[in-house]
Amino acid sequence: MMIPIANPKASYLACKELIDDAVFRVLESGWYVLGKEVSDFERSFAQWCGCSHAVGVANGTDAVEIALRSVGVHEGDCVVTVSNTANATVSAIERIGAVPVFVDVREDTYTMDPGSLSEALMMRGAKAVVPVHLYGHPADMPAICSIAHGAGAAVVEDCAQAHGATICGRKVGTFGDAAAFSFYPTKNLGAIGDGGAVVSSDNAVADRVMLLRQYGWRKRYESESKGVNSRLDEIQAAILSVKLKSLALMNGRRRQIAEFYNREFSKLPIELPLTGPGCEHVYHQYTLLCDRRDDVVAHLKLAGVGTGILYPVPIHKQPAYIDDFSDVILPVTESLADRIVSIPVYPELTDDEVHRVVHAVKSFFVKT
């Protein structure tokens, strides 16, 4: 049996009865969009993150866009971010009509390099900065916030891959002016469909998010400002509330698996994921760096182990963007793309499966 790179069905089965009950409760209630389940989830998710507000939206891409609009980004503004991220981060910036400015990442954690950020802000200024907590590892938020705020730019954290990651005990999502989460089914906190949230401790920002997600309505059918339809539905919220209760435990299991991989792979000729000082990684992905990456992928496939490449081509090199960013050179980002490979790390992996993954990885390097 193939061990997939992610397994959202296993995540459902892990709390099937509670989820089935929650879904049944919503179906019976007759209220399906933005109701009590959404507000209950928003309250508990805000509390879990350590923020004053969480506002549910339709998906993580909308969460980035609405968060940016809510901190004051408009058409034509520059927004600094990284190029080794999901297309979503950049698509959200461009949907506003804002201009993405790419900076390089650190060699150790693959997250935004504060030095490159500083240079970019000195050269062109920006309205906002979007660091991405890639693979579950926090970006260097103290440095990034100090540089961005010092240059008058707001900070919107992209937390889509890092629910619960911390720096000195403080959760990601609490450092910036606002933060965006995705609840796509494979995320550390995943719905059974699309979902997202913006969190913030700034009352005015949270109020703007509330308005923006539903046509700018404070009062039904009356737009106080211009908005969109980006609502979270009751079924997803009820499911998320069930899963939120075990998120810390599930992140702990991810860490346990990752630490086992780290020990088992310590003598192989590959680079293992690092955890920065004071940080807690939540291993949305367990990503290795190795030469002959494509041979490793083929070997693991034959051994029944799924892999992922996040991301095979940096955004600025993709066909849709290459003309706009032909002068952009990001040496670290570009060097990662050919060498990264993620192996399964989701919490429902059995010990047996974890051993199979270890054996498959080791056998490549012993064989060759």
Ligand X SMILES: Cc1ncc(COP(=O)(O)O)c(C=O)c1O
Interface residues with ligand X (CB under 6 A) are: 59-61, 64, 85-86, 88-89, 132, 158, 160-161, 182, 184, 194, 196
Min separation Cβ 85 and ligand X, Å: 5
3-state secondary structure of 59: coil
Shortest approach of ligand X to residue 193 CB, angstroms? 10
**Residue 169 and residue 191: Cα distance in Å, rounded?**
26
> Is the Cβ of residue 161 or residue 166 nearer to ligand X in the bound state?
161
In contact, 138 and 162? CB cutoff 8 Å? yes
Considering beta carbons, is residue 81 or 174 the nearer one to ligand X? 81
Residue closer to ligand X by CB (options 191, 258) is: 191
- 3-state DSSP of 1-29: CCECCCCHHHHHHHCHHHHHHHHHHHHHH
Least CB distance from residue 304 to ligand X, whole Å? 26
Q: b/e map of 141-177 (b: 16 or more CB within 10 Å)?
A: bebbbebbeebebbbbbbbbbbbbbbbeebbbbbbbb
Nearest distance in Å: CB 61, ligand X: 3
Query: What is the spatial distance between Cα 25 and Cα 11, in angstroms, rounded to a whole number?
Result: 20
Structure tokens belonging to residue 135: 């693979």
Least distance (Å) from ligand X to the CB of residue 365? 29
> Could you tell me the smallest distance in angstroms from the CB atom of residue 135 to ligand X?
9
Residue nearer to ligand X on the CB measure, 58 or 154: 58
Beta strands in the chain (DSSP E): 53-57, 78-82, 99-103, 128-130, 154-158, 166-167, 170-171, 178-182, 196-200, 217-219, 222-223, 279-280, 286-289, 340-343
Nearer to ligand X, 96 or 270 (CB): 96
Closest residue (Cβ) to ligand X? 60
Min dist CB 284 to ligand X, Å, is: 8
The tokens describing 95, both together, are 């949907």
CB of 194 to ligand X, least distance (A): 6
Strand partners, 210: none
Three-state DSSP at 225 gives coil
**Nearer of residues 92 and 349 to ligand X, judged by Cβ:** 92
Amino acid at site 89: T
**CB nearer to ligand X: pick between 101 and 139:** 139
Nearer to ligand X, 185 or 276 (CB): 185
